[in-house]
Amino acid sequence: MSFRSYFVSSLMLSLASFNATASSVEVLHWWTSGGEAQAAGVFKGYWQALGNEWSDSAISGGGGGSAMTVLKSRALSDSPPDAAHLKGTELREWASLGFLRNLDEIAKQEGWEHILPSFVLQSVKYDGHYVAAPIGIHRANALWINPKIFAKLNLTPPTTWTDFLQVADKIKQAGYTPLAMGNDEWQLRNLFELIVLGEGGSQFYRQSMIDLDPTALQSDTMLHILNIFHQIRPYISDNTGRLKWNQQSQLLMDGQAAMQVMGDWVKGEITGAHLIPGKDILCLPSPGTDGMFSYNVDSIAMFNTKNPTKETAQYHLVQMIMMDGFQHAFNKVKGSIPVFKNQKIDDFDACAQQSLKELTTAIQKNELVPSADGMANSGRVKQAFADILTPFFNEKNADPHTIAHQLARAVLSAKR
């Protein structure tokens, strides 16, 4: 079944059970890359097809930093949007300030505790109350490979970071960019946390990246990780270092770069370019993380309003987000997987089906962890990591021992 026919059929099923009067909402988000914009279009199209009006506030910028700046400005001027894409610590911070609508009533009516996995439930709660509707599950620990380059060079995809460095060196000697990655704070933090997970394992990852334990941050394991992180610098292209993550994905698809270490939101770019994930571009666990699953849970929060009409519109939006048909249509384009338990995604691509299997296994084996950058760490802590890691990555003669001590101090100060 084509996506268009799937979308139409699922929408018709939704219309049969969705009995809402026309509503209007403004939604702030940062889904602006090629694949993400298509997913936002599904979101908008579903809402409009139900007879409603959509006001789009799309703010460009990887990781959502620019969107959060705009949102703070609007909230301070008492003109927040009706709904916004929020997740992780940012969601909890907005909830703690009293800006977000309590969704306990609709969560109870819709039986969220019965249909959602526990980690998803916790991701959209603050102080025991539901403050957002989950819209999709992303896997952060993914390695994307251009199979034509690997076949041409007779290379095997790396399964450890030591392997990665050896493979990257051969790719560079052959004249390709080994790693499609921009030299900016967000992409560097993403790379670093995946090296921590792959080299340290899930327990060390929790201690260092989630609990922010100073001992773990200055340990021999961390020194080893910092050394690997630093050694990757020669394998990204100086000419493309300032490109956004989705532009880096284009280099991968065009055959200019061999690998990209990035979450499965890359898949939206692949399908948007009419390529087949798992065939034209291979999807594998990031090195060392086979059997582990680092997650982001995207969610939509509703901002408090005293306008009854807007409250009704928000209620209807939450209802729509939690429809099975919408979850399938949206996540199929976004690159993520739906949030429900026991879901059927046989019509999704091979990478999504593998992601669901890995998620199930990781839950069973206690190898499920939140993405530090996407879910667990506050803005202050993320900036502390960036302040230390970015110059270290780019300084040829930097000392990992000194950096480990600086990192521990900076993170300790930021989390207070």
Task: Please name each of the domains of the chain with its CATH number.
Answer: 3-139+296-359 (3.40.190.10), 142-293+375-415 (3.40.190.10)
* Residues above pLDDT 70, as percent of the chain: 93
Question: Which DSSP string corresponds to 250-304?
Answer: HHHHHTSEEEEE--TTHHHHHHHTT--BTTTBEEEEPTT-TT-EEEEEEEEEEB-
Q: What SS3 state is found at 122?
A: helix
Q: Say what the pLDDT of residue 184 is.
A: 87
Q: Say what the pLDDT of residue 58 is.
A: 85
The pTM of this model reads 0.92
Q: Say what the pLDDT of residue 16 is.
A: 44
Higher-confidence position of 67 and 55: 55
Q: Is the model's pLDDT at 8 over the cut of 60?
A: no
Average of pLDDT values for 131-141? 98
Burial of 32 from C-beta contacts in 10 A (0-12 / 13-18 / 19+): middle
Average of pLDDT values for 18-27? 73
Q: What are 27's two structure tokens?
A: 């939604």
Q: What SS3 state is found at 159?
A: coil
* Residues above pLDDT 90, as percent of the chain: 81
Average of pLDDT values for 109-131? 97
Q: Say what the pLDDT of residue 77 is.
A: 86
Q: Say what the pLDDT of residue 19 is.
A: 47
Q: What SS3 state is found at 194?
A: helix
Q: Say what the pLDDT of residue 18 is.
A: 52
Q: Is the model's pLDDT at 14 over the cut of 60?
A: no
Query: What would the 3-class secondary structure string for 393-414 be?
Result: HHCCCCCHHHHHHHHHHHHHHH
Q: Is the model's pLDDT at 239 over the cut of 60?
A: yes
What are the pLDDT digits (tens) for 189-206? 999 999 999 999 999 999
- Cα separation, 319 vs 339, in Å, equals 14
Q: Say what the pLDDT of residue 21 is.
A: 62
Q: Is the model's pLDDT at 401 over the cut of 90?
A: yes
Residue whose C-alpha is closest to residue 164's, from 266, 222, 235 = 235
CB atoms within 10 A of CB 320: 21
- Cα separation, 261 vs 113, in Å, equals 33
Helix (H) or strand (E) holding 163: helix 161-173
